[in-house]
Amino acid sequence: MSDLDLAMLDASEWQEAHAEPARRELSRSRWTDRDGGFLGRFYRDTGARSSDRSEWLEARRSGIGASEAAMLMGESRWGDAGTLYARKLTEPTEADDEWLTWGLALEQVIADAYASPRYAGRAVVRDGRLLRSLAHPWAVCTLDAWICSKAGEIPLELKTDSDRYGYAWAEGLPREYEWQLQHQMMVTGTPRASIACLLAGSRLVWADAERDETMIRRLIRAGESLWAQIESGEMPETTDHRALATVFDREERGRVIELEGIEWARADLMRCEADAAYQRASVERAAIDARIKRAMGRAEVARLDDGTEYRWTTQRDGRRVLRRREARIQ
């Protein structure tokens, strides 16, 4: 738009044309628990249901959920405490993710399989309520199902995973899932919890976890600390750059802060050393890739003694890329 065109606009249109992008508002959830019709010894029903996705997402912002426990403890592949901080202070959004869509759609299939004699053979009742701990109101969880027996009811988590060969399950229950189950036990007060996971749509694995009071105490300490930071607006330490960009979404023009002292000088030195190491590693990797490609020639696959494979793949733009796949664990 030219200056002449702008001169012909009225004042409101001029302001709109020059308006800066809207600042992302940081605010805690506006959700207020309502009577969900059930009050347990250890928890209450918030009234939110996973079947109403938008309402459930807003309600979950009012606490830390079981699927977020590993993030809270710094043992998740999806983020850390800073990720949670940003998530709890921004409006809930959910991408149109096919992985999530199919994961939710397959929950009933997994529950039915788990309950069948071929697998665990346990009675299963589906749930979907968002529950809140009475002792620790910042702790919430949505149970996919309950396992019912004469000894009582325990939570059942239903998962899908792309881990076709079960690498993460090779030594038992993966750590991030263990944190999730411990969080569920903290909220519900149960002595055990279970998980059933469908790997790559073709293999069902499951495991039980016993209540671990040491892990639960660690969860409580970390959860109370993070929730205090959320209430005070003090972002925790994080390596999640997306979370940082969410919270500090725009710079204040002209503002300068001084990073004084040996601590920041050392941090700057470490960053420079990391950049140099990355550059060296990139050069070394490129040289190794070139050596493998030369050895492969026109072959599609190169296989090492342990079964690890290097394979040519063609990208959508026509580029040929060398991919590495580790040997399958027997």
CA gap 81, 236 in Å, rounded? 7
Q: Distance of CA 204 to CAs 162, 180, 187, 237, 240, Å?
A: 12, 19, 27, 37, 32
| Cβ atoms of residues 17 and 6 within 8 Å | yes
* 3 state SS of 267: helix
> Residue 34: its pLDDT value, please?
83
* 3 state SS of 303: strand
Nearest to 309 by CA among 294, 291, 296, 290: 296
pLDDT one digit per residue (tens) for the chain, 330 residues: 444 443 444 444 434 444 454 556 678 887 888 877 667 789 999 999 998 988 999 999 999 999 999 999 999 999 999 999 999 998 877 655 677 788 888 999 999 999 999 999 999 999 999 999 999 999 999 999 999 998 899 999 999 988 766 778 888 899 999 999 999 999 999 999 999 999 988 899 999 999 999 999 999 999 999 999 999 999 999 999 999 988 988 778 888 889 999 999 999 999 999 999 999 999 999 999 999 999 998 888 999 998 899 998 887 787 888 889 887 655
Query: What is the pTM assigned to this prediction?
Result: 0.76
Tell me the per-residue pLDDT of 15-27, one tens digit each, with 9 for 90 and over.
444 445 455 667 8
What phi, psi does 208 have (nearest 5°)? -105, 150
CA gap 260, 112 in Å, rounded? 60
Q: Distance of CA 189 to CAs 235, 258, 278, Å?
A: 30, 49, 47
Angle at 133 between CA 231 and CA 45, to 5 degrees: 110
Q: Which CATH architecture has domain 43-247?
A: Alpha-Beta Complex (3.90)
> Residue 283: its pLDDT value, please?
93
Please give the torsion angle defined by the CA atoms of residues 180, 186, 190 and 192, in that order, rounded to the nearest 10 degrees.
Answer: 40
**Where does CATH 3.90.320.10 sit in the chain?**
43-247
> Residue 61: its pLDDT value, please?
94
CA gap 60, 131 in Å, rounded? 10
Judging by DSSP bridges, how do beta strands 309-314 and 203-210 pair with one another? unpaired
Helices (H), the chain: 3-7, 11-17, 53-60, 69-72, 81-88, 98-105, 107-115, 175-188, 213-232, 241-247, 262-296
CA gap 112, 116 in Å, rounded? 6
